[in-house]
């Protein structure tokens, strides 16, 4: 898997990597992580929802951090307090067994447990936020063997001071508060970047501080689509998004297609059957899946002893815009600690669309 050599501030400010079940080995992703960490000169701040790795992969991550610490890089980690058993997907909880806390504490760096009823669901690394070459790693990819080898995920790396500073500010909020409340309560003005030799405009949001704004912004983008909406999302839970998609399908002017995780969404639908206010969503999801012809990955139902091979992306392509991050398209995500990027770029949208084409063909 290629490294991050193409990141050149002011020329190529953004780079993406795509994961799919069986398309890469977990060791390749570990090498990608190690390369990113290895570029740090001053600081590394890691916000990790799920970090449970087998011994070889855990050793690779630990070794990369240890090498940076040896030359004076300051390392801090925040992580989601261990999950309840069983997990509650309808409340925005990704399936994951306990173990993250024990692994992170074993690394020996300063850490914060982010507690509370909602999730610290970020997966980002801030590198040298105050240095001359700041970088951030973000996207949908957790730090587990299955996320790196069996799941569909995307990774976004950005070399832009304004974007990195915003992620650093959100990390500082989490570090200070030790829970999700009162974090992400700030606006980030649109940032002009470069991608594939052309301008790219990035908007960045953090929840819970801007959770309602995220839900509204995503639904508004979808409602305003003029050519296409492409879905590549594990779940479709947000009422605002469901209504926007239904309106597009009813109008019939915009092509809607894509894929989702049929198994994990099925579990959510069954849970909605016991929640009267969510009953309408069951029909809405069924109508969207049928009318848009969404492909569904049949992953394993969650159990601690089964492969966690979820279609784990959180991606929408709307015309020439890519929407992605850690943020599941659900109401619960508004209250989690999450991040979401809205990236306006025809070239980037084309690259994500090509990736999505392959997944749709595989899981149709």
Per-residue pLDDT tens listing for the chain (364 residues): 889 999 999 899 999 999 999 999 999 999 999 999 999 999 999 999 999 999 999 999 999 999 999 999 999 999 998 666 666 655 545 556 689 999 999 999 999 999 888 899 999 999 999 999 999 999 999 999 999 999 999 999 999 999 999 999 999 999 999 999 999 999 999 999 999 999 999 999 999 999 999 999 999 999 999 999 999 999 999 999 999 999 999 999 999 999 999 999 999 999 999 999 999 999 999 999 999 999 999 999 988 888 999 999 999 999 999 999 999 998 889 999 999 999 999 999 999 999 999 999 999 9
CB 56, CB 34: distance < 8 Å: no
Quickly tell me which residue has 């966690």 as its tokens: 308
Task: Look at strands 188-195 and 198-207 and give their pairing.
Answer: antiparallel
Cα dist from 113 to 8, 51, 101, 143, whole Å: 34, 13, 8, 17
pLDDT, tens digit (0-9, with 9 covering 90-100), for 84-107: 666 665 554 555 668 999 999 999
Q: Which two tokens stand for residue 257?
A: 């297609």
Cα→Cα distances 288→236, 242, 285, 329, 361, Å: 10, 8, 5, 15, 19
Q: How many CB atoms lie within 10 A of CB 88?
A: 12
Q: How far apart are CA 265 and CA 285, in angstroms?
A: 9
User: By 3-state DSSP, what share of the chain in percent is helix, strand and coil, each rounded to 5?
Assistant: 40, 30, 35
Q: Closest Cα to residue 88, out of 221, 271, 245?
A: 271
Contact by Cβ (8 Å): 38, 53: no
Q: For residue range 295-321, what is the model confidence (pLDDT) as tens digits?
A: 999 999 988 888 999 999 999 999 999
Q: Six-digit token pair at 91?
A: 């409340």
Q: How many CB atoms lie within 10 A of CB 81?
A: 17
Preceding peptide of 208 cis, ω within 30°: yes
* Structural domains of the chain, ranges and CATH numbers in brackets: 14-363 (3.30.870.10)
Cβ contact 15:4 at 8 Å: yes
C-alpha–C-alpha distance, residues 16 and 94, integer Å = 23
């Amino acid at each position: 898997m290629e490294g991050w050599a193409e990141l050149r501030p002011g020329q190529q400010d953004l780079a993406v990597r795509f994961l799919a079940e069986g398309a890469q080995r977990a060791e390749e992703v570990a090498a990608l992580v190690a390369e990113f960490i290895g570029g740090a000169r001053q600081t590394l701040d890691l916000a990790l929802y799920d970090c449970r790795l087998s011994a070889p992969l855990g050793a690779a991550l630990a070794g990369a951090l240890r090498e940076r610490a040896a030359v004076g890089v300051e390392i801090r980690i925040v992580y989601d307090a261990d999950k309840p058993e069983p997990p509650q997907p309808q409340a925005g909880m990704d399936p994951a067994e306990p173990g993250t806390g024990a692994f992170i504490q074993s690394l020996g760096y300063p850490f914060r447990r982010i507690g509370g009823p909602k999730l610290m669901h970020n997966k980002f690394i801030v590198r040298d936020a105050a240095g001359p070459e700041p970088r951030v790693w973000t996207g949908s990819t957790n730090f587990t063997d299955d996320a790196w080898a069996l799941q569909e995920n995307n990774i976004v790396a950005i070399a832009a001071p304004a974007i990195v500073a915003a992620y650093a500010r959100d990390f500082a909020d989490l570090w200070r508060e030790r829970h999700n409340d009162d974090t992400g309560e700030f606006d980030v003005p649109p940032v002009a970047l470069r991608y594939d030799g052309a301008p790219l405009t990035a908007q960045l949001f953090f929840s819970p501080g801007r959770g309602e704004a995220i839900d509204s912004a995503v639904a508004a983008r979808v409602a305003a689509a003029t050519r296409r909406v492409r879905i590549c999302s594990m779940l479709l839970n947000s009422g605002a998004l469901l209504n926007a998609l239904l309106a597009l399908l009813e109008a019939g002017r915009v092509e809607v297609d894509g894929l989702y995780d049929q198994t994990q969404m099925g579990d959510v639908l069954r849970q909605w059957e016991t929640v009267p206010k969510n009953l309408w969503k069951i029909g809405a999801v069924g109508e969207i899946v049928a009318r848009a012809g969404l492909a569904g990955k049949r992953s394993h139902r969650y159990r601690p002893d089964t492969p966690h091979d979820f279609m784990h992306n959180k991606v929408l392509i709307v015309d020439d815009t890519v929407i992605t991050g850690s943020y599941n398209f659900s109401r619960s995500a508004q209250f989690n600690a999450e991040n979401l990027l809205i990236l306006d770029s025809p070239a980037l949208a084309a690259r994500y669309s090509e990736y999505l084409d392959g997944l749709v063909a595989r899981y149709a």
